[in-house]
Amino acid sequence: MNSSEPTAMREITYREAAREALHEALTNDERVFLMGEDVGRYGGSYAVSLGFLEEFGPERIRDTPLSESAFVGAGIGAAIGGMRPIVEVMTVNFSLLAADQIINTAATYLHMSGGQINVPLVIRMATGGGLQLAAQHSHSLENLYAHIPGLKVLTPATVEDVRGMLATALADPDPVLIFEHILLYNRKGLLAEQAGAVDIDRARVRREGTHVSLITYGGSLWKCMEAAELLAQQGIEAEVLDLRILRPLDDESIIATVSKTHRAVIVDEGWRSGGISAEITARIHEQAFYELDLPVQRVCAVEVPIPYAKHLEDAALPQVEEIVAAAKKVVNGHD
């Protein structure tokens, strides 16, 4: 193809892009297998692996008992043994049942073996609220795992990233956690026909702006994009930075956007206390304090268990109007 020719694009849902990534991984490498609750006969809790059991068979599409600690531990063992397991945990809340395996084993094995034993494990899980799944299925706990040395934490928000991050994660010698926001599965986007692996190292500016930086990730990206459109109608040009990776954070890109706009709003569906928004705020203050015209603002989930009732769930989660208000506050200097 001539490099001057436009790239052919197609419309695809986030779910379809994730399925393509999984299918490609299973097809291209016989060491890859998928394991988790309902990934086989049911086709995945979010229908990402629909039809895979029939195509690849029960050796490579493994339904597991409802024991996250057991099947994540089995995935760690398989990774150490030379396989390339993809473990699916139904929701991020349930990953807490495997926290010992993830935090005390997968993340530490390389260190505790003196650099001799890698754990090339990929764990996928749904995260976030907005579907009225109540408190045990709706939280954003990727912040917790971003605290842990030895892990990489990915938060794909676009069809390109959910399609391309998996291949890069599987090639990584160390454990990688991929958090897929539940509200994104039905979201459509444009994907290049020849889309392939993408980096898992850098944040990406999704919209250029000069007046304020909206720094976010995952499902909140699209709320920030909508907020930026509304702000533009009021003469405020917001730059939107998609973090993409929560560990390691891309400090260079964060500082670059703050140095450009001199104002920042961090939007995080996790809770404010002890979350990734606090960490990013601290890094901005440490590295670019004198670039700021006004203090950093944060828009986070209300510090309650996520409610079931729709109006209460909406009230608990960051919304577009809150992002717009926070951006106007740092631009105008007042509410």
First to last CA, the chain: 52
Mean pLDDT (whole number) for 239-257: 98
Q: Domain locations in the chain?
A: 11-192, 204-332
Asked whether the predicted pLDDT for residue 3 surpasses 60, the reply is no
Q: How far apart (Å, rounded) are the C-alpha atoms in residues 162 and 164? A: 6
pLDDT of residue 80: 97
Mean pLDDT (whole number) for 111-134: 95
pLDDT digits (tens, 9 = 90+) for 296-319: 999 999 999 999 999 999 999 999
Asked whether the predicted pLDDT for residue 215 surpasses 50, the reply is yes
Average pLDDT, the chain: 95
Mean pLDDT (whole number) for 256-274: 97
Residues with a catalytic annotation lie at 68, 137
Asked whether the predicted pLDDT for residue 1 surpasses 60, the reply is no
pLDDT digits (tens, 9 = 90+) for 141-158: 999 999 999 999 999 999
pLDDT of residue 335: 65
Mean pLDDT (whole number) for 30-48: 94
The yes-or-no answer to whether 11-192 and 204-332 have a common fold is yes
Instruction: Look at phi and psi of residue 112 and say left if phi exceeds 0, alpha if psi is from -120 to 50, else beta.
Output: alpha
Asked whether the predicted pLDDT for residue 12 surpasses 50, the reply is yes
Question: What are φ and ψ of residue 207, in 5° steps?
Answer: -150, 130
Q: Is the dihedral of CA 61, 156, 275, 105 positive or negative?
A: positive
C-alpha distances (whole Å) from 201 to each of 94, 124, 204, 243, 280 are 27, 18, 10, 10, 16
Q: 204-332: which CATH number, 3.40.50.740, 3.40.50.920, 3.20.20.70, 3.40.50.10490?
A: 3.40.50.920
Mean pLDDT (whole number) for 49-69: 95
Helix, coil or strand: residue 20: helix
Indicate the pLDDT class of residue 225, thresholds 50, 70 and 90.
very high
CATH code for 11-192? 3.40.50.970
Mean pLDDT (whole number) for 4-33: 92
Neighbours of 13 (CB within 10 A): 17
Mean pLDDT (whole number) for 51-64: 96
Q: Among 128-137, 175-184, 255-264, whose mean pLDDT is lowest?
A: 128-137
Give the H/E segment covering residue 53. Answer: helix 52-56
